[in-house]
Structure 1
Amino acid sequence: MLNIINLSDRQDALIEPLSQLLLEGFRENWPEAWPTLDAARQEVLDSLTDDRINRVAINEVGKVLGWVGGISQYNGHVWEVHPLVVAANYRRQGIGRTLLQDLEKQVRQRGALTLWLGSDDEMNMTSLSGVNLYSNLWEKIRDIQNLRGHPYQFYQKCGFEIVGVMPDANGKGKPDIFMAKSVGVPSSSHQSE
């Protein structure tokens, strides 16, 4: 049984498990994100501010299975997904999707219109890495290929669209793929299409 709780409700008990989850969850494909347990712990501690949302998936015995965070931007109209991580043994079971759906509900209740994220490609996992993105960018985005299990396709399945790319964000040929999703009730000016 999966329960989603606010980190603030049990933060003292969850700081260390979430720190370990971040460290292990990003070690393989994004090792520089949080290279040490201390760096991961600092990320968890930094997330404990009033302008952030932190939702934690736990099982019936209280084991941490995943974490999704949201950061308010643009006066609350836009929220950034940061982070989203699921324990390795629990991936591909719908936990990440459930956490994203929960975050969407949380930000919608706060008046958000858009949820966005950056999905780095530091390990040559897509056809956008290692190429010149300053030329014919939109064609390259249109023709993107997932070469080695990059998570952008997971986000697409959750309703996100690629809305841009920051070339060389993580070094030469290592872009950040920007994805976004409408989560608010559209105004009359945005309903046509």
Structure 2
Amino acid sequence: MRIADLVGDNGRSVRQAAELLVRCSSHIPSGWHTLEEGLAEVRESLGPDRISRVALDENGDVLGWIGAIPSYRCHVWELHPLVVRPDRQRQGIGRALVADLEDLARERDADTIFVGTDDEDGRTALSGVHLYPDVLSWAAGFRNLRGHPFAFYRKCGFVVVGLIPDANGFGRPDILMAKRVTA
């Protein structure tokens, strides 16, 4: 496996990244449901101020895709999105993409990377819960019920820094996680 920039003139990789995005997100309401939506998201990630990287197998096929958007005058980068082929998950590809992104963000003098990892499909103990008025107490001790990605991000060193209650409708919060990438 090798990790490389995703570039717009590589139509094959762009299409494979879009197909992967749709495949991995079409089960959630706010996901990308058509190839056209996926292609639009991939093309947006190719902007000059963005990071867009792919993990490729020995044949040049996309195994995973990660992107990042600068924020706070580039001191903070939002990880968006991260997808790995389902048949290749739990093989270190996602972790390698995150580590690569951390290196690139650090090279751009970033201090922090954050990710919003929505719970739209009942995979944490936050799902279906009225989180107000004490949102932060909920953030401190919730559980993973059914393989929510926040467990992956924790393994990569991210910590929960907040919640956006009802971000995707009642009882479907966005879980905000961040990681310092400077010493």
Q: RMSD of aligned C-alpha atoms?
A: 1.2
Report the equivalent of 1:188: none
Whole-Å Cα distance in 1 between the matches of residues 171 and 151 of structure 2? 20
Distance 2:79 2:35 in 1: 21
The answer for the alignment partner of 1:168 in structure 2 is 166
Corresponding residue of 2:12? 13
* 1:61 aligned partner, one-letter code: N
Unaligned runs of 5+ in 2: none
**What CA distance in whole angstroms lies between the structure 2 residues aligned with 1:125 and 1:43?**
25
- Superposition pairs of residues 1-193 of structure 1, within 5 angstroms: 2-8=1-7, 11-28=10-27, 30-185=28-183
For 1:189, the equivalent position in structure 2 comes to none
Unaligned runs of 5+ in 1: 186-193
Give % identity: 48
Partners of 1:101 and 1:112 lie apart in 2 by: 14
Q: Which amino acid aligns with 1:117?
A: V
* Aligned-partner Cα distance in 2 for 1:166–1:141: 10
Count of residue correspondences? 183
Query: Partner amino acid for 1:69?
Result: G
How far apart are 1:10 and its partner, in Å? 5.3
Normalised by the length of structure 1, the TM-score is 0.91
Structure 1 residue 12, shift from structure 2 partner: 2.5
Moved >3 Å (runs of 4+): none
One-letter amino acid of the structure 2 residue matched with residue 81 of structure 1: L
Provide the rounded CA distance (Å) in 2 between the counterparts of 1:164 and 1:158.
17
Deviation at 1:9, TM superposition (A): 7.4
Q: Aligned AA for 1:179?
A: M
- Work out the CA distance in 1 between the residues paired with 2:41 and 2:21: 9
Decide whether the 8 Å contact of 2:166 with 2:173 is kept in 1: yes
Q: Which amino acid aligns with 2:71?
A: Q
Task: Choose 1 or 2 for highest CA Rg.
Answer: 1
